Structure 1
Amino acid sequence: MRFSTICLLAALSCLAPSCKRLEAKLDRLARLAGITTPAEEEAQKKKAEPVLTPEQQALEAKVLNSAVFETVKHEDVAPKAVAFELNKSSTVAILGYHDFKERGGSPMIISGSKFAEQMKAIKESGIPVIPLSDVLEWRKGRKNIPEEAIVITMDDGWEGVHTYAYPVLKEHGFPFTVYLYKKYVNIGGRSLSWDQIREMMKHGCEVGSHSVSHESLRNKKGRNDADQQLWLLGELKDSKEFLEKNLGIACTSFAYPFGIFDESTTELALQVGYETLVTVNNQKVNWDTPMGKLGRYIIHGESDTNFKLATSFRGRGDVSSNHFLTASAKDEKGNALVELSPVPEELVKDRQPVIQAKLANLKTIIPESVKMRVAGIGTVPAQYDPATMVVSYQLPYKLRREDCAVTLNFKRAADQPDEVVSWRFKVDLAAAYVPAKLP
């Protein structure tokens, strides 16, 4: 009934000559048929809705114009790139050796057995040995190096390097740098041959220049200033090109003969193309050390004095005075002496982990001797529970680098040396940037 009435009204709207008369007729017909007209609907709607105050109108407009009703865009669930953060707090000790023989006997010669003893102490300490080129990359801001690290160098090019030092370094996987001077390469006698040098280069050896003649770079020998400058340029440039041509390398490091230099020599060496220049001034290298004045600790014969200075970091005893426990050390029954968490080399997703060491298998510990150090933070207020013999430390903030090194010192008895356990774990930085899964 209602549908047919609507059709009738539509037909009449097309035929009627007068709009006003037609509208009146349509209204009457619609009321008879029980149909609400558009005008009546609008009137009823306005009557039902309350009148909004100006404040309410403003609020309604604000809501309608906000982003609340925009279509939600799901974030990309792929891990975001983690920005590289450079660690500028690292410290490097550079060791300097000269010749090696079966027995020592002079400040320039160390016995093979003494050298092996020193390298073993470094290995057991857990302090990483890195190539000098890594120090350069660090200082260029391209990579991080360990919080504490050692670099090993040898001057002059004696054959004893290949005979005595190289096998020990190769066994431990230690990289090293040999500084050669042009007049003492491949000339027979006790000089290194090209074949020996190339062999060592295949197993972690880097090569630097030690000048042409190994004379003091400040000794003028009667030369005037102009001639001295030309001679100095030759000592720096010719030795560099000589090594690059014969070994097919980029020679970017220089060792001052006798450690003697001045500002003009350093400047000229940098202009020639050297990027690292090493001295003999018994100083560790840090972020602020000038690249033309990298300190070294020269080892004098059988004396351990400079070795101890070099391998003592931030107030800790040197590698030869402490007793180092490896993280994997076990007792006679095969039980781990120290249980570490996170375990060595573990990749953790928690950027604020609790660092723990369980020492119960060591039987006795002097509580006040327990000290923990975390790379990038320093000595931390770790808690030691004598009842459980557990050392723990909750990191106060999230780690921002992908590698974390921890060192734990303690004594088992007052008359015994400090024992040291060092380990490192890795942090999965990318995992922290993956958005949570959508429901």
Structure 2
Amino acid sequence: MKKKPFFLVFFLLLLLFSILVYWFRPENVGVENTDYVQQKTGDHTSHSLEPKGSDVEQIPSRNSKPEEKISNERWYKDKVVILNYHHIDRDSNKPFVITPEQFGEHLQFIKEHNFHPISLREFFTFMQTGVTAKENAVLFTFDDGYESYYTQAYPLLSEYGYPSAAFVIAGRLRDTMDRKRENMTVPLAYQQIDEMLASGLVDIGSHTFSLHEHKELDEWGVQKAGTEPVYLEEFQRAENEEEYRSRLFVDFKMSKIGLEQLVKKPIASLSLPQGYKSKIVIDSAKEAGYQYVFTSRRDVVKPNEDPYSIPRFDVGIRKVGAPQLLELFTKVKMEE
């Protein structure tokens, strides 16, 4: 008789446990399994609080960006495509000026299509060895040294972590206050160059000292590049070879010395105004101490390329967008 209370209590506990198990079964709490469950009614989708499994439907947050599609395509190896720019300005209609949005489109294209920007220093290594550390190598260069390189290009390039090189006209560089008193397309300031150099993403080269400053003419009044022989109006004759060589050497050397004092590094490269070159131009560049000369000849840089005739693609113009870049790189790939 003493065992009856024990069995009665045991029976009541068992009954209570059965009720609890029944009440909390999955079908009674709206969960069909222990993994993630998606219930759809019409166009509406509801989700449990803790989704699991490989078939989870991701819901992007309001601030999240769409997933980027990055290609792993190999376009070329042990070659470099140099993309050259000049000025970035949203309001200018000049041919060698692009908008910030257009430049951003170029950078996104480079990223999405598996191209790898390299620094000017890495490019020099390629010129010496014929080998690139990365496939699909590209080099960004900017001629003239306008302030827009600092205010527009450099911030965008930094977001991507992309290096670039600025070929500056040394005679145009100014202190910040001096530039504000001059009526010209604003050039870089010394302080801006110092800041960019400190980032490790920027290298500096020469774009002459002042051969962009004057509209040089020949004897027929036709405008010429500053590196071409010019007509001496004062003497009513064309300059002779000795005068021509002297003018080029002095300019090239002044630019090199001035920039080296500014950046505290050797300046090994020269970008020619309007890409004009001749034997005398190259001889003068060598004599002034340059090891690499960049032109406007459109081509890919290959192993064993002539270091005094480096080709580039001028893409910093309004008509070049992502479709034109795709066409350019497709042609390069077809030549592999």
Same fold (TM over 0.5): yes
Partner residue in 1 for 2:248: 232
Question: In structure 1, how many angstroms separate the alpha carbons of the residues matched to 2:147 and 2:332?
Answer: 35
Relative contact order (C-alpha < 8 Å, sep 6+): which is higher?
2
Instruction: Find 1:268's aligned residue among 271, 284, 296.
Output: 284
Select the residue among 207, 218, 242 that pairs with 1:210.
Answer: 207
Contact 2:167 2:205 in 1 (8 A): yes
* Partners of 1:277 and 1:292 within 8 A in 2: yes
Unaligned runs of 5+ in 2: 1-75, 181-185, 213-225, 233-238
Structure 1 residues 68-87: aligned runs within 5 Å: none
Q: Which of the numbers 146, 152, 177 marks the counterpart of 1:158?
A: 146
Q: Distance in 2 between matches of 1:242 and 1:157?
A: 14
Task: Please give the secondary structure, in 2, of the residue aligned with 1:202.
Answer: helix
Contact 1:104–1:301 (CA under 8 A) maintained in structure 2 = no
TM-fit CA distance, 1:192: 0.6
2:102 to 114, 117, 140: 114
Q: TM-score, normalised by structure 1?
A: 0.49
Which residues of 2 match residues 339-358 of structure 1 at below 5 A?
none
Secondary structure of the 1:152 match is: strand
Q: Choose from 118, 139, 158 the match for 1:170.
A: 158
SS at match of 1:140: helix
Q: Which runs of 4+ in 1 moved over 3 A?
A: 305-317
- Is the Cα contact below 8 Å between 2:171 and 2:255 reproduced in 1? no
Q: Secondary structure at the match of 1:207?
A: strand
Report the 3-state secondary structure (helix = DSSP H, G, I; strand = E; otherwise coil) of the residue aligned with 1:95.
strand
CA contact (8 A) 1:104 1:302 kept: no
The farther-off stretch of 261-270 and 116-125 is 261-270
**Residue type at the aligned position of 2:318:** E
Deviation at 1:300, TM superposition (A): 4.4
The unaligned stretches of length 5 or more in structure 1 are 1-87, 318-377, 379-439
Match of 2:188 among 188, 192, 197: 192
Structure 1 residues 96 and 144, CA, compared in 2 at 3 Å: closer, same or farther?
Answer: closer
Secondary structure of 1:244's counterpart equals helix
Which residue of structure 1 aligns with residue 231 of structure 2?
A: 221
Report the count of equivalent residues. Answer: 231
Contact 2:77 2:136 in 1 (8 A): no
Displacement after TM superposition at 1:310 (Å): 4.3
Q: Could you say what secondary structure the match of 2:229 adopts?
A: coil
Question: Structure 2 CA distance, aligned partners of 1:243 and 1:168?
Answer: 25
SS of the residue aligned with 1:106?
coil
Partner SS state of residue 268, structure 1: helix
Q: Distance in 2 between matches of 1:226 and 1:197?
A: 35
Q: Hey, what does 1:140 align to over in structure 2?
A: 128
Give 1:315's aligned residue: 333
Cα deviation for residue 270 of structure 1 reads 2.2
TM (norm. structure 2) is 0.64
CA-CA distance at 1:166 after TM superposition? 0.7
- Residue 100 of structure 1 is aligned with which of 88, 98, 112? 88
Separation in 1, partners of 2:329, 2:283 = 30
- Once the 2 structures are TM-superposed, how far is the Cα of residue 148 of structure 1 from its aligned partner? 2.3
Deviations 1:110-154 (A, max 9, x none): 100110111011011121000122121122229643232100000
Alignment partner of 2:306 out of 290, 312, 330: 290
Distance 1:110 1:289, change over 3 A: same
Question: Percent identity at matched positions?
Answer: 23
* C-alpha contact (below 8 Å) 2:117/2:138 kept by paired residues: yes
Q: Which has the larger radius of gyration?
A: 1
Matched residue type, 2:333? G
Counterparts of 1:91 and 1:309 in 2: how far apart (Å)?
17
Verify: 1:248 aligned to 2:264, yes or no: yes
**Aligned counterpart in structure 1 of residue 275 of structure 2, from 237, 248, 259:** 259
Q: Is this contact kept in 2: 1:101–1:160, CA < 8 A?
A: yes
Q: In structure 2, do the counterparts of structure 1 residues 309 and 95 end up closer, same or farther at CA, with 3 Å as the change threshold?
A: farther
- Taking the aligned partners of 1:144 and 1:300, their CA distance within structure 2 comes to 25
Structure 2 matches for 1:316-331, cutoff 5 A?
none
Residue 251 of structure 1 deviates from its aligned partner by 0.5
Q: Is the 8 Å Cα contact of residues 281 and 297 (structure 1) preserved in structure 2?
A: yes
Is contact 1:278-1:295 (8 Å) kept?
Answer: yes
